[in-house]
Amino acid sequence: MLIINIKQLVGIREETSLLKGKAMAELPYLDNAFLRIIDDQIVEYGEMKDLSEKGWDNEEQIDVAGQYVLPAWCDSHSHLVYAGSRETEFVDKIKGMSYETIAKNGGGILNSARLLNNTPEEELFHLAWQRLEEVKKLGTGAIEIKSGYGLTVEGELKMLRVIRKLQKESDVLIKSTFLGAHTYPSVFKDNHQAYIQQIIEEMLPVIAEEQLADYIDVFCEQGFFSVQETEQILEAGIRFGLKPKLHANQLHVSGGVQTGVKYKAISVDHLESIGEAEIDCLKESNTIATLLPSAAFFLRMSYPPARQMLDANLPLAIATDYNPGSSPSGNMPLLIALSCIQLKMTPEEAINAATINGAFAMELHNSTGSISRGKKANLILTKPIPSLAYLPYSFGSTLIDKVLLQGKWV
């Protein structure tokens, strides 16, 4: 397949490296370009003026005059498998109740866990499949999905098996994360060690045996998992072959960032509550800082200091955090707009954070995240637009014309 007359082919990289600080402002492109795809792979690209000499006249051609072509989004943090919505809590929050108070009253994550444990695996799969189909149309081509709404041995394994079935059946590239340590189930409220032992002795061995997860995550936060508890769980996860990714510094300066760095986490995610010490700590590491501004937006919290982090030469990724409690949206175009508007990232920085750096945060950078020969043909074709900045500028508009995943139209 040949895509021709591309107004601008965006995110071209033959060298795949994690982008940090100033480098995030550069988004290489070609004007008036073509792109050649064979099966599920990008095989060639170039300028239209050089196309005639290639001798590909007999190939299927798709003329996209006026349209931009970008790599599909890489959403590196989601909780897309869940059983039911929580709009009642949404209204409670409007009326003044805080996220923490709702959680203390048995709402929040525990509410989702109750629903999930009462929902059959097939139904859960069906619900998650519908959400995945929805985000595909918005341009998502790779996604990380966490467990963490089971909080029982059966519930956690059920979630991870649903994720595995999604991996097998969807053309979206999917990574799986075990988040048994999302919160303490009510029965273990006063006996944290008993739940941690359940995670270590009853969940992790099965997860490792059945290869149900790539990563281990912990909600390291006041009122959830302390630094010491987080360390204990991460160490066990690592023994079972899982790499850490962490929920860190969402509600308080929790020590999550330092813990993530200490255990060489692939990423530390959220970071609404960070200061100089956390930024300095990240500077000395290879850990990616993943920002989830739609959660801060939805919970009316202050945003992470993205500009300060870019000035400190950190690598930033952005992700939707798609979940029923703090970000009931998997809309990457909206997330990119939010990142520009509220985090003051430039369109180029936000797109890099949502593509190549997101791919790194899932260790999928050799397969996706940029327009590169040999990578998956995971592409977004925009409607005709005047410039790249028009995408986040006209937030809320549907500007995606078509999406191609692994060489097939969505």
Ligand X SMILES: N=CN[C@@H](CCC(=O)O)C(=O)O
Name the site residues for Zn ion (rule: CB under 5 A).
321
Nearest to 391 by CA among 85, 8, 43: 8
User: Torsions phi, psi of 97, nearest 5?
Assistant: -80, 145
Give one word for 241, left, alpha or beta, with left for phi > 0 and alpha for psi -120 to 50.
left
Name the residue with tokens 């410039």: 387
352 in a labelled binding site: no
367 in a labelled binding site: no
Minimum distance, C-beta of residue 192 to ligand X, in the bound complex (Å)? 17
370 in a labelled binding site: no
Task: Give the one entry of ligand X, Zn ion, none that residue 112 binds, where binding means its C-beta sits below a cut-off of 5 to 8 angstroms depending on kind.
Answer: ligand X
300 in a labelled binding site: no
Judged by CB under 6 A, which of 81, 83, 109, 159 binds ligand X? 109
Per this entry, what is the length of the chain? 410
41 in a labelled binding site: no
- Residue 392 one-letter amino acid: P
Tokens describing residue 34? 């073509």
Q: Which of residues 206-235 bind ligand X (CB under 6 A)?
A: 219
Taking the least distance from each CB to ligand X, the nearer of 29 and 99 is 99
Binding of ligand X at residue 323 (CB under 6 A)?
yes
180 in a labelled binding site: no
Give the whole-angstrom CA distance, residue 109 versus residue 114. 9
Binding of ligand X at residue 333 (CB under 6 A)?
no
Q: Are 344 and 24 in contact (CB under 8 A)?
A: no
Q: At what angle do helices 109-117 and 153-169 cross, to 10 degrees?
A: 80
Taking the least distance from each CB to Zn ion, the nearer of 272 and 321 is 321
Binding of ligand X at residue 144 (CB under 6 A)?
no
Judged by CB under 6 A, which of 75, 144, 272, 321 binds ligand X? 321
Binding of ligand X at residue 181 (CB under 6 A)?
no
- Residues in contact with 341: Cβ distance below 8 Å, sequence separation at least 6, in sequence order: 392, 395
- Residues in contact with 19: Cβ distance below 8 Å, sequence separation at least 6, in sequence order: 26, 315, 352, 356, 357
**225 DSSP β-pair partners:** 220
Binding of ligand X at residue 51 (CB under 6 A)?
no
161 in a labelled binding site: no
Nearest to 296 by CA among 309, 306, 286, 283: 306
Q: Which residue is nearest to Zn ion (CB)?
A: 321
Q: Which of residues 244-283 bind ligand X (CB under 6 A)?
A: 247, 250
Minimum distance, C-beta of residue 301 to ligand X, in the bound complex (Å)? 10
Q: Residues marked as binding for N-formimidoyl-L-glutamate?
A: 149, 323, 325
Please give the residue ranges that form the binding site for ligand X (CB under 6 A): 108-109, 112, 219, 247, 250, 295, 321, 323-326
Q: Residues marked as binding?
A: 77, 79, 86, 149, 182, 247, 250, 321, 323, 325-326
